[in-house]
Structure 1
Amino acid sequence: MSALYLLTALFPVLSILFLLAVLQLSARLAMAIGLAGTALLAALVWRVQWLQLAAAVLEGWVIACSVLWIVFGAMLLLHQLQQQGRFDLIRQSFCQLTADPRQQLLLVGFLLVAFLEGVAGFGTPAAIAAPLLVSLGFQPLAAVTLALIADSVPVSFGAIGTPVLVGIAQGIDTPLAVQDIAVQAASIDLLAAPWIPVYMLALYCRFFSAEKSWRYFWPALPWALCCGVIYALSAWLAARWLGPEFPTVLAALSTMVLLAVILKLRQQRHTTANVSMNGAVNSTARQLIAAWLPYLCLISLLVLSRLPELPVKNWLQSYQWQFDALLGSAISTSLQPLYLPGTLFVLTVLLFLPKNRSAAPQLLALCRQSLQKIGPAALTLASAVPMVRVFIHSDLNQSGLPAMPVYLADWAAGHLQQLWLWCAPVLGALGSFIAGSATFSNLMFAQLQLEVAAQAGVAPQLVLALQMLGANAGNMICVVNIVAACAVVKLQQQEGKILRYTLLPMLLYLLLVGTASHWF
């Protein structure tokens, strides 16, 4: 029976990888098959009652609505910027700084993604950065793939430290120093994180650029490596001296400013003409500030709503839509509509509507345009998120078995204890891949990681740091993130291809983290 239990618990993970990456089915079909198979096995093998399964599906739909709200808000703002001509100016601002797409990739694809992850998380980075990359001339497939790869390392301290302060701190019973765990993770990442922008650049140059050549990659390698090293070192310093709230924000911001200053100085040295590198007349500073103002407003709102020192966060979170005992089951969920990033996207749109009679018709047109684009994503998420919730709530059964992810973790702990420094980050990645959240992965597996660490005689801070780093890596291949990012750039039925592109860098990152952990 143990083999049957193991195969059942592995089904949601292996089936999605097989259906998307091998058979190359659309995400919509793959997720529908995955949901049906997971629910059937949960009922027959795990002996979960159908009422509990139905309640888990309902909970999944509630969570899917929160994801769709973020996508809708991002598309609403994007369409408004395009309609008002601001988006062309934003694109031009990057072109004026550098016409080299490799350097644009580092600025937008890595550093802007990292900054947005640091202030907001929850799907915001790809929703903003991917359309910007497309506007700069990147293929939609490249924009989504590269943004997802970038949205990994920053996740460890993303959303003002939520994966640590909520995921790790609340996921363990032992009173360990959270900052020690954060510093340990940042120390390991000094050796692993710098290779993420390098891999992004290599992938772009070899597969997505016009040249499709390694020779196009080598001249830009020092830029990527320098960017990665400065980011990782800045994050380590912030974690050590300021705590887990701001490493991602400060590392991204400091590296972005430094890189922009260097590019500006090089540009002034090589040209004095008042013509941008793409032949267009340079926009004035006032025009560029006006173009960026909605994004600057959005980022300000996100920061103000996430800082724990301010009362805004508690006020926004105090308003909840509570769904208790769904269908009479033990499953409950809630939404905090004011706290969701999607609400802040919509608020930004409202602030920048024209102050005349055309505001209402314009808003209706933007809403209609955005709603038309999220239909495919809604159908996919309607299966993907419920499948995850069935998987997680499989502990509500009549067989006495733990939840499927916990069963997998227990099996790994029992059979791979001696290799746990390699396995700990893999478990963290599995949690993010399944749940779509590094925070939830940390909540789900932190205590189990501590128990295995005690059995294997490994320092608990080290194992929890590996859990954090593995959770951020799993963000690269999370299907919910892939579907949401594809929706924003209107890319359909490419989820399997994106998964194949992001799977290898995730595995390489886990290998680097596992190797580096043996030196601590």
Structure 2
Amino acid sequence: MSTGALSFLAIIPIITVLFFLVFLRWPAKKAMPIAFLVTVLVAYFVWEVPVNQIAGASLQGITTALEVLFIVFGAILMLNTLKESGAIQTIRQGFTDISPDRRIQAIIICWLFGSFIEGASGWGTPAAIIAPLLVAVGFPAMGAVMVALIIQSAPVSFGAVGTPILIGVQSGLAGSSAVEETAASIGMTLDQYVRMIGGEVAIFHGIVGLFIPLFMVTMLTFFFGENRSIKEGLAVWKFALFAGLSFTIPFTLVANLLGPEFPAMFGGLIGLAIVVPAAKKGLFMPKKDWDFAASSTWDPAWTGNLKIEPAQTLQPVSPVKAWIPYIIVGVLLVITRLESLPFGAWLKAFVIKAEKVFGSSISIESTPLFLPGFILLIVSVLSAFLYKMNRSTYGRAWKESGKTILAASPALLFSVPMVQVFINSDANNGGFESMPLVLAESVSGLAGSNWPAVAPAIGALGAFVAGSNTISNMMFSLFQFGTAQNVGINPSIVVALQAVGGAAGNMICVHNVVAASAAAGLIGKEGELIRKTFIPTVYYVFFAGGAGYIFIHGLGFNIGTVMAAIIAVLFLYACYQGQLQNKAEQQFYKWNRSA
């Protein structure tokens, strides 16, 4: 079979997902069973994957889906515990005290607090925690999920204490003599070479991710504002860039000076320490606050079933006491992820494991106590004692959380097995590479020396399919390295571009969207969300590709310079429009004061 024909067949599962979920806008619980069935048929009849391999991959997918559901349940239970105790009202008021402007709240909560959570835990946990928190603050559920997914980009390459680099890239490159020879030629071991790649990843994220806060608020005002205005988002361009730099500068420095373990965590914490006091002092802040229209006027599609009503019968909770559960979560996530401490090993000691499932090459392993969901569950129980909640009040938190998880389960229990069958199609009787590798090799044949411009898109494709930057890096790092060597360009930069694209793909991967939507009580709108988050994903891989091309080939009249110039022009135009909006708002503000 020709490479073109095989590539066409390999992309059918992805086209199926896009067709039903994005174009027809079916809910994931209906679209993903069809996508799973199509993937199984292609794997069995074209790749000739044995039935036991398909069954093993499917069971592995179900196991992963249950792990994701556990994390989401923990996040929702935490929020419902805070809601029932009255603590969420204090948190809501705290963010309002910093600024009632929803754009500023989104940047602080998502970009900075969310990046810290990403650095500590990964696993899509930030979106699962941040989305319901934004709903509690007063965001429409769909808007909350959208902005929570958008920040699943820059910090993701260093999520879970650097796992996508230290496990994903390193596992993907390990065992290759070409990689070891390249590392040795510059006086490095494989581990040192991977850490150098991690530093390059941070530099690309520092350049591209700088504009994510501005992207986020502009999409928020355009899709969910009363006036559907891009300019209202651009009006906070100074604050958005300030917040971007407050994260990306320490993020990049930490990655290059300390390694891949802490960039997202330290970037988020340092950013919070800089941006929150600045916001309280009014630095770079707009004159006019921006808010959503009255919730009674919202499009019904924007709202979910997560209701955050004031707990009138309970005593007010102090700000410090209200934030204690999230502080404990952050601390526990960090200390259980540090290999220098024993706590993670203790939690990993309890392992559920099955070797060569159904006689296939697939083994399944789960460490449920090490999952962020377990920590969230424990902190929820501690919070019930902290807030002196009675049994019936705390029971309501469990009941509401259980209902949300049951609604989200069907989509995840089909989407993740579909992914595993797709990835594990390398064990076949047809003599073919796995479906994702066939697709990647087909694209590399078309791109040639322009490969740096395309490399991030391959990483994003891997994350979209696999739902993980780590797995995308495992699948494609060696392929990216070999392709770079074949066309005579720096392989470390190309592998770095793979990791950057893999992070960007998290914004649109199906199970992240399903999990974040479920946490916010929004079910059945997954396709609509992917249509929205596809916009910043395209920006990310496009800009990263252009920057990567320039890093390798230098400035000049080439495709990389053209790509970067397009982004520069759009950015300058956006700042100009934002400044015009600022002037208009300032004049309106002065007119109101004089009146």
Under TM normalisation by the shorter chain, which class is it? over 0.9
**1:358 Cα deviation from its structure 2 partner:** 7.2
Instruction: Give the corresponding residue for 1:437.
Output: 468
**1:514 Cα deviation from its structure 2 partner:** 0.8
Paired residue secondary structure (1:322)? strand
Identify unmatched segments of 5+ residues in structure 2: 184-192, 287-314, 552-595
AA aligned to 2:95 is F
Instruction: Give the corresponding residue for 2:530.
Output: 499
> Equivalences for 1:277-316 in 2 at 5 Å?
287-316=318-347
- Counterparts of 2:388 and 2:95 in 1: how far apart (Å)? 34
Q: Does the alignment pair 1:195 with 2:211?
A: yes
Instruction: Give the corresponding residue for 1:278.
Output: none
Instruction: Give the corresponding residue for 1:25.
Output: 26
Instruction: Give the corresponding residue for 1:81.
Output: 82
- Counterparts of 1:365 and 1:60 in 2: how far apart (Å)? 31
**1:446 Cα deviation from its structure 2 partner:** 0.8
Task: Sort the Cα spacing of 1:355 and 1:179 in 2 relative to 1 into closer, same or farther, 3 A.
Answer: closer
Within the candidate set 208, 211, 219, 2:227 is matched to 211
Identify unmatched segments of 5+ residues in structure 1: 271-283
Contact 2:86 2:317 in 1 (8 A): no
Q: Does the alignment pair 1:167 with 2:168?
A: yes
Instruction: Give the corresponding residue for 2:349.
Output: 318
Contact 2:251 2:267 in 1 (8 A): yes
Paired residue secondary structure (1:170)? helix
- Counterparts of 2:148 and 2:388 in 1: how far apart (Å)? 38
- Counterparts of 2:160 and 2:544 in 1: how far apart (Å)? 22
- Counterparts of 2:395 and 2:141 in 1: how far apart (Å)? 27
**1:219 Cα deviation from its structure 2 partner:** 2.5
Contact 2:214 2:236 in 1 (8 A): no
- Counterparts of 1:259 and 1:230 in 2: how far apart (Å)? 7
> Equivalences for 1:48-447 in 2 at 5 Å?
48-173=49-174, 174-175=179-180, 176=183, 177-266=193-282, 287-354=318-385, 364-447=395-478
**1:285 Cα deviation from its structure 2 partner:** 12
TM-superposition CA deviations, 1:132-185 (whole Å, max 9, x none): 211222110000011101111110111111111111122103244122212212
Paired residue secondary structure (2:353)? strand
Task: Sort the Cα spacing of 1:261 and 1:410 in 2 relative to 1 into closer, same or farther, 3 A.
Answer: same
Contact 2:85 2:389 in 1 (8 A): no
Q: Does the alignment pair 1:475 with 2:491?
A: no
Paired residue secondary structure (2:171)? coil
Question: Normalising by structure 2, what TM-score?
Answer: 0.82
Contact 2:84 2:394 in 1 (8 A): no
Contact 2:246 2:275 in 1 (8 A): no
Instruction: Give the corresponding residue for 1:448.
Output: 479
**1:6 Cα deviation from its structure 2 partner:** 1.3
Question: Normalising by structure 1, what TM-score?
Answer: 0.93
- Counterparts of 2:502 and 2:160 in 1: how far apart (Å)? 14
- Counterparts of 1:35 and 1:51 in 2: how far apart (Å)? 16
- Counterparts of 2:389 and 2:113 in 1: how far apart (Å)? 33
- Counterparts of 1:456 and 1:163 in 2: how far apart (Å)? 26
- Counterparts of 1:191 and 1:266 in 2: how far apart (Å)? 26
**1:357 Cα deviation from its structure 2 partner:** 11
Instruction: Give the corresponding residue for 2:190.
Output: none
- Counterparts of 1:388 and 1:230 in 2: how far apart (Å)? 36
AA aligned to 2:243 is C
- Counterparts of 1:424 and 1:356 in 2: how far apart (Å)? 50
AA aligned to 1:169 is Q
**1:315 Cα deviation from its structure 2 partner:** 2.0
AA aligned to 1:262 is A
- Counterparts of 1:519 and 1:189 in 2: how far apart (Å)? 15
Task: Sort the Cα spacing of 1:350 and 1:367 in 2 relative to 1 into closer, same or farther, 3 A.
Answer: same
Instruction: Give the corresponding residue for 1:274.
Output: none
- Counterparts of 2:541 and 2:506 in 1: how far apart (Å)? 12
TM-superposition CA deviations, 1:90-122 (whole Å, max 9, x none): 111101111111111110121111111011111
State the identity %.
Answer: 38
State the aligned residue count: 507
**1:375 Cα deviation from its structure 2 partner:** 1.5
**1:286 Cα deviation from its structure 2 partner:** 8.1
Task: Sort the Cα spacing of 1:424 and 1:362 in 2 relative to 1 into closer, same or farther, 3 A.
Answer: same
**1:302 Cα deviation from its structure 2 partner:** 0.6
Aligned-residue Cα RMSD (Å) equals 2.2
**1:13 Cα deviation from its structure 2 partner:** 1.6
Choose 48-57 or 118-127, whichever is displaced more. 48-57
Choose 442-451 or 44-53, whichever is displaced more. 44-53
- Counterparts of 1:43 and 1:100 in 2: how far apart (Å)? 53
Instruction: Give the corresponding residue for 2:300.
Output: none
Contact 2:85 2:387 in 1 (8 A): no
- Counterparts of 2:90 and 2:390 in 1: how far apart (Å)? 22
- Counterparts of 2:470 and 2:151 in 1: how far apart (Å)? 18
- Counterparts of 2:129 and 2:254 in 1: how far apart (Å)? 25
- Counterparts of 1:169 and 1:355 in 2: how far apart (Å)? 42
Task: Sort the Cα spacing of 1:444 and 1:23 in 2 relative to 1 into closer, same or farther, 3 A.
Answer: same
**1:355 Cα deviation from its structure 2 partner:** 8.2
- Counterparts of 1:303 and 1:365 in 2: how far apart (Å)? 30
**1:49 Cα deviation from its structure 2 partner:** 2.0
**1:427 Cα deviation from its structure 2 partner:** 0.8
- Counterparts of 2:387 and 2:521 in 1: how far apart (Å)? 31
